[in-house]
Amino acid sequence: MLTVEGLNTYYGRAHILSDLALQATAGEVVVLLGRNGAGKSTTMKSVIGLVPAESGAISFDGARIDRLSPHRIARLGLGYVPEDRRIFTDLNVMENLEVGRQKPRDGAPTWTPERLFELFPNLGRMKDRPGGRMSGGEQQMLTIARTLMGNPRLILLDEPSEGLAPVIVEQMARTILQLKAEGLCVLLSEQNLHFAQMVADRAYIIEKGRIRYSGTMAELAADAAVREQYLSV
Amino acid sequence: MLANIVIQFMNGLAGASSLFLVAAGLSIIFGVSRIVNFAHGSLYMLGVYLAYTLVEFFGRSSIFGFWGGVLMAALCVGLIGVLIEIVVLRRIYRAPELFQLLATFALVLVIKDAALYIWGAEDLVGPRAAGLRGAVEIMGKRFPQYDLVLIAIGPVVLGLLWLLMNRTRWGTLVRAATQDREMVGALGVNQSGLFTGVFFLGAFLAGLGGAVQLPREPAQLMLDITVISDAFVVVVVGGMGSIGGAFLAALLIAQAKAFCIGIGDVSIFGTVFSFSKFTLVVEFVIMAVVLVVRPWGLLGKQQGVQRGAFMVEPPLYPLNQTFWIVVLAIVVLLGLIPFGGDNYLLVLLIDIAVFALFAVTLHFLMGPSGMVSFGHAAYFGLGCYGAALALLKLKLPMELALFAAPLAGGLGALVFGWFCVRLSGVYLAMLTLAFAQIAWSVIYQWDAFTGGSNGLIGLWPSEWLKNRAVFYAFALVLCVGSILFLWRVVHAPFGYALRAGRDSALRADAIGINVRRFQWFGFTLSGAFAGLAGGLFAFSKGSISPETLAVSRSVDGLVMVLLGGVQTLTGPVAGAALFTWLQDSIARNTEYWRAILGLTILVIVLAFPQGIAGFTKQVAARIGVMRREAV
C-alpha cells in the first residue's frame, strides 16, 4: 500500500534521512521505532509532504506521491496525525472534526461524528468544547478523530502514546486495534516498545536517519541484542 | 445641547460603518495569510473611484443605478484582490514577512498611479444616493437620510460575517487556517483556494467600504494612505484577527472623531484648546493608550507564532580587515567626486548620503534589534525641526543648531521608545506609526511655532559650507562616520545583547540581560542618528515641511532597507542609493514614477521570493546537495 524507497530529506544542509526504505501493506500495523531525534517524525512528514524529500520515491497504491502537496496526498486517502496534535484550539470539537471531513472513499471505512463518538466516547460528551480547553489525552483522541473524518485508507500516527497517562495509553492501543479491524493500514512511530508490542505486526528500527533493523514483532521480541543496541536508553 | 450630542453620536455611527468594513477585510486577510496588506487602503480608494464611474454608468438618478453601481464596484475590487493574490502574493507566502510587506508597498505605488492614469489628479465629487438625498429631522436637527442607511450597514455586515465565519464550512476552514494553515493542508484542504477566497472577501469589504462613502467624500488619490493608517489603527485597537473587535474599535474611534469635531474650540483657563484640530490625532492617542494597557487590543488574544511560518535570522559576519579597506576605498572615491561632478550630481549625492544614514538607522532597529518601525520618519523629521528651530528661534549658529538635530530625534525616540519596547511584532510597528502620526499632526497644526503646513524656510548653512562641494564633503564625513559607528555598535557587546534579545527574549532575560532596557537604548540611539540625518537634510534643502515626517517618508525608509536586504549590514546603504537615484531619475522623466518603482520592486520580489540573501543561500545549499550526490 505504501512504499518508500531511497528517501533522502534535508533540513537546510543537515541530512536527516538517508536512503530510507520501508513498506506497509493493507490491513497491517507497522511501527517505526527509534530514539529521540532518530528521524521518525521527519519520515512521517516526508510521506505526507510537509517536509519535501530531496530524492527518493514514495508511492501510495502504486502512484507516486513524493512531488505532491500535502492536501493532494491527504485527498488520496492518506491521513496524518501529528506528534504535537495541532488541535485548532479556537474551534470546538465538532468544528475540528469538520475541518478534517472529506468525501466517502471506496475501500476505506466511512466515518461520521456519531461513529467517532462511539470510538471515543469522551469526545461525544464535549461536542461544543473549544480544543484549547481539553486535556492532553482528549486532544490526542480529537486529533485522531479529526484525521479519520477524511476517511483515510492509511493513517500515519506520530507517537500517539507520548505524554499520556498509562490508562489512556491502553485505551489508545485498543483504538488502534479497532482501526486495524476496520481494515485501516496504520504506520505509527514510537519510542515506547511496550506500546508497540501491544498493537504492531511488524517493526522498523530507525537510527540517525537510516533503517537499521526490520522484522516482525515476534522476531524483535526474540532479539535482545538489537533491542539493547538501538532502543535502550 | 442634548440634541447636539445625539447628532454627533449619529455622525459617529455613520462614520464607523465604512471604517469597520475596511478594517474587517484587513483583519481577515491578516488572520489567514499573515500578510499585513498595505495595499488595503488602495483597494478602498479603488472602491470609491469605481463606484464613481459605475454609478454614472448605471444612471445616478435611479435607486438601482446607485446601489447597483456601489455593489458592482465592490465586486470589481474583490476580483482585483483575487488577481493580486494569484499573481503576486501566492508566490511569496513562504517568503520572510518583511518581504511580503515590501510587495504590498509596491502594490500601493502601482495602484496609485493606475488611478492617476484612469481618473486623473482632480478630486471627483460623487453623486448623492438616489432616493436618499433628503434629511430627516431628529430632535429638531436635520440629519441626512443616507447616513441612516450607513449606520445600518455596519451591524448588518457584522452579522453576515459572523454567520459566514461560524455557520459555514468555509468559515470554519478560515478560522482553522488562521491558527495553523499547514495542518489544514495536511487534512486535505486546498489552501490556495481558501486564500484566494479570503482575499476576495477582504478586498470586497474594502471596496464596499469605499463605495458607500462616495456620497460623503470625494474620490481622491490620497485616500490610500489615510485609510490604511485608519484601518491599521482600528484593527490593532480591536485586536488582530477579531472581527467583533474591529467593529468595537471602529465605533470607538469614529465616535471620538465625531465628538472632537462637534466640540470645536473650548476655552480652558483662558487658553483656547481646539478639539477639532485634535481629530487628526485622536485615533492614534486611543491606539497608544489601548496598546499600553491591553497590548493585544480590546478583544484580541495573544498571538502565538503561526505554525509553518518560522524564520531564523542568520548571524552577521564579523567585520574584518578587508571589509574596512573596501569601505575606506569607497569613501575616498566618493570624496573625489566633487572635483569632476556638476552641481546636480552633488545634490543627488548629498541626498544619497543623508538617506543612507536614515536607512542604516532604520535597519539598526529592524535587523539587529528586531523592532520594525513603521514610523521612523518621526525621528528624521524631529531632527529637521530641531535643527531648524534652534537656528531660527534660538538664533544659534548653524554648527550648533545641527547638534539640536540628533538631540531632538533622540529625545523623541527616548519618549516614544519607552512605550514601543513594551510591544513586539506588528503591534510594535503600529505603535511606532501612531507616534509618528501624532508628531506629524502636532507639527502640521502648530502654525505659530513650526510654520504648520507651510513649513520653515531660510535654513542655510554657515558661510564656509555655502559651497556645494564643501557641504557634500561635510555631509559625507558625518554620514559615513555615523554609519560606521552604528555598524561597530552592532558588533559590540551592546549589539550582541540586542541580537540576543531579538533571537530569544526569554533566554536573554534568563542570562541577565534586561532586554527591554537594551531595546529602549537601541531605539533612542537609532532615533538620534535618524535625527542627525534629518538635520543635514534640512540644511541641504534650505527649507522643510511636515512632509519630512509623513507616513510616506517612513515607507520610503522601509523600501530602502528591504530592497537592499535586511539581513546584511551594507544592504540598506545600497538600497538607499538605488532608491534615491531611481526616484530622482524616473521622477524627472515621467509622471508615473511610482508605478515604475512599484513594478521594479514587484519584479525583484517575485524573482527572489526568499529575499536576495535567501536566494544566494538556496543556491549554496543546492550546490552542496549536488556535491554530496556526486561523491
For residue A211, give the 3-state DSSP assignment.
strand
Q: Which residue of B has its CA nearest to A102?
A: B188
Q: Tell me which of A16, A68, A86 to substitute to probe the interface with B (most B C-beta atoms closer than 10 Å).
A: A86
Which pLDDT value is given to residue B621?
A: 63
CA distances to A75, A94, A120, A180, B170 from A145, rounded to whole Å, are 16, 10, 8, 15, 20
Compute the average pLDDT of residues B137-143: 86
Residue A155 pLDDT class (50, 70, 90 cuts): very high
Between residues A227 and A70, the one the model is more confident about: A70
Look at the alpha carbons of A10, A11, A17, A23 in this order and tell me if their dihedral is positive or negative: negative
Question: Which of A69-83, B10-24, B165-179, B284-298 shows the lowest per-residue confidence on average (mean pLDDT)?
Answer: B284-298
The position carrying cell 485597537 is: B237
pLDDT tens per residue across span B203-238 = 999 999 999 999 998 999 989 888 888 898 898 899
| pLDDT band at B137; cut points 50, 70, 90 | confident
Contact (CB<8Å) A88/B187: no
Q: How far is A180 from chain B (nearest CA, A)?
A: 21
Per-residue pLDDT band at A32 (split at 50, 70, 90): very high
Nearest to B621 among A13, A69, A101 (CB): A13
- Residues of chain B whose beta carbon is less than 8 angstroms from a beta carbon of chain A are 169, 172-173, 175-176, 178-180, 182-191, 307, 621, 624-625, 628-629
How many angstroms away from the CA of B286 is the closest CA of chain A?
Answer: 28
Which residue from A minimizes the CA distance to B166?
A: A95
Interchain CB distance below 8 Å, B175 and A88:
yes
In this predicted structure, the answer to whether residue A11 has a pLDDT above a threshold of 90 is no
Q: Residue B563 pLDDT > 60, yes or no?
A: yes
pLDDT band (50, 70, 90) for residue B626:
low
Q: How many whole angstroms separate alpha carbon B406 and alpha carbon B347?
A: 22
Query: Which three-class secondary structure string do you get for B350-386?
Result: HHHHHHHHHHHHHHHHHCCCCCCCCCCHHHHHHHHHH
**A50:B188 CB<8 A:** no
A48, A90, A95 ranked by CB distance to B186: nearest: A48
Interface probe with B: pick from A55, A88, A96, A102, most Cβ of B within 10 Å? A88
User: Average of pLDDT values for A47-66?
Assistant: 93
Could you give phi then psi for residue B231, rounded to 5 degrees? -65, -40
In angstroms, the separation between the Cα of residue A21 and the nearest Cα of chain B is 18
Tally of domains within chain A = 1
Nearest to A102 among B172, B173, B188 (CB): B188
Residues of A in contact with B182 (CB under 8 A): 50, 70
Evaluate whether B361 touches B486 at the Cβ level (below 8 Å).
Answer: yes
Kindly give the pairing relationship between strand A14-24 and strand A185-190: unpaired
B625 Cα to chain A: minimum distance (Å): 8
CATH number for the domain harbouring residue A43: 3.40.50.300
Least confident span in B192-196, B256-260, B615-619: B615-619
**pLDDT for B5 beyond 90:** no
pLDDT at B263 over 80: no
Residue A102 with chain B: CB contacts under 8 Å: 188
Task: Identify the closest residue of chain B to A45 by CA–CA distance.
Answer: B186
Q: Minimal Cα distance from A92: which residue of B?
A: B172
Neighbours of B344 (CB within 10 A): 10
DSSP string, A2-61: EEEEEEEEEETTEEEEEEEEEEE-TT-EEEEE--TTSSHHHHHHHHHTSS--SEEEEEET
* Mean pLDDT for the stretch of residues A160-175: 91
Question: What is the amino acid identity at position A211?
Answer: I
C-alpha cell at B249: 474599535
What number of other Cβ atoms are within 10 A of residue B309's Cβ?
15
Domain residue limits, chain B: 17-221, 348-453+479-581
Report CA-CA distances (Å) from B49 to B102, B118, B214, B215, B249. 25, 9, 8, 12, 26
Q: Contact at 8 Å (CB) between B437 and B430? A: no
CB-nearest to B184 from A49, A69, A99 is A99
**pLDDT-based confidence at B618, cuts 50/70/90?**
low
Using only C-alpha atoms, chain A has a radius of gyration, in whole angstroms, of: 17
Q: Which residues of chain B make contact with A90, given a CB cutoff of 8 A? A: 175, 178-179
Among B172, B190, B624, beta carbon nearest to A91:
B172
Q: What residues of B are in contact with residue A88 (Cβ under 8 Å)?
A: 175-176, 179-180, 183
C-alpha cell of residue B131: 432616493
Other beta carbons within 10 angstroms of residue B332's beta carbon come to: 9
Interchain pair A98, B172: CB under 8 A: yes
Q: Do B183 and A102 touch (CB under 8 A)?
A: no
- Average pLDDT on A89-103 reads 96
**Of B207, B38, B32, B196, the residue nearest B107 (C-alpha):** B38
- For A76, nearest residue in chain B (alpha carbons): B188
pLDDT at B309 over 50: no
Strand partners, A160: none
How far apart (Å, rounded) are the C-alpha atoms in residues B256 and B181?
37
Q: Single out the residue of B150, B177, B142, B136 nearest to residue B15, CA to CA.
A: B150
User: How far apart are the CA of B376 and the nearest CA of chain A, in angstroms?
Assistant: 34
- Separation CA A198–CA A184 (nearest Å): 17
Kindly state the helix (H) or strand (E) to which residue B12 belongs, with its residue range.
helix B2-33
pTM: 0.85
DSSP code at position B423: S
Chain B residues with CB inside 8 Å of A146's CB?
Answer: 187
- Please list the alpha-helical segments (H only) found in B542-592: 551-564, 571-589
Q: What ipTM did this prediction achieve?
A: 0.94
Selection from A182, A166, A209, A231 nearest residue A39 by Cα: A209
Contact B452/B386 with Cβ under 8 angstroms? no
pLDDT band for position B124 (cuts 50, 70, 90):
very high
Query: Can you point out the beta strands (E) in B240-290?
Result: 265-268, 271-274
Q: Which residues of A208-231 are buried (b: 16+ CB within 10 A; e: fewer)?
A: ebebebeeebeebeeeeebbeebb
Residues of A with CB under 8 A from a CB of B: 10, 12-13, 15, 48-50, 54-55, 69-71, 74-75, 80, 82, 86, 88-91, 95-96, 98-102, 146-147, 150
Three-state secondary-structure class, residue A230: helix
pLDDT at A93 over 80: yes
Report the pLDDT averaged over residues B47-58. 95
- What pLDDT is stored for residue B612 in this prediction? 56
Q: How confident is the model at residue B628 (pLDDT cuts 50, 70, 90)?
A: low
Taken as a whole, chain B contains a residue count of 631
Q: Which of A85-99, B59-73, B422-436 has the lowest mean pLDDT?
A: B422-436
Give the structural domain span for A10: 2-230
Q: Is the pLDDT of residue B307 over 50?
A: no
What number of C-beta contacts closer than 8 Å exist between A and B?
68
The pLDDT value recorded for residue B279 is 77
- Give SS3 for A192: coil
Give the model's confidence band at A14: pLDDT under 50 very low, under 70 low, under 90 confident, else very high: confident
* Location of C-alpha cell 559615513: B480
Strand partners, A14: A11
Find the closest chain A residue to B189 by CA distance: A71
Dihedral sign for Cα B186, B192, B196, B197, please.
negative
Tally of CB atoms within 10 A around B446: 13
Q: Is the pLDDT score of B308 beyond 60?
A: no
pLDDT band of A233, cuts 50, 70, 90:
low
Pick the residue with more confidence: B434 or B69? B69
| Mean residue pLDDT across chain A | 93
Q: Which residues of A touch B311 (CB under 8 A)?
A: none
Could you report the per-residue pLDDT of B376-397, keeping only the tens digit for each? Answer: 999 999 999 999 999 999 989 9
Helices (H), B421-550: 425-445, 447-450, 468-490, 493-503, 505-510, 515-541
Cβ pair A50:B307 closer than 8 A = no
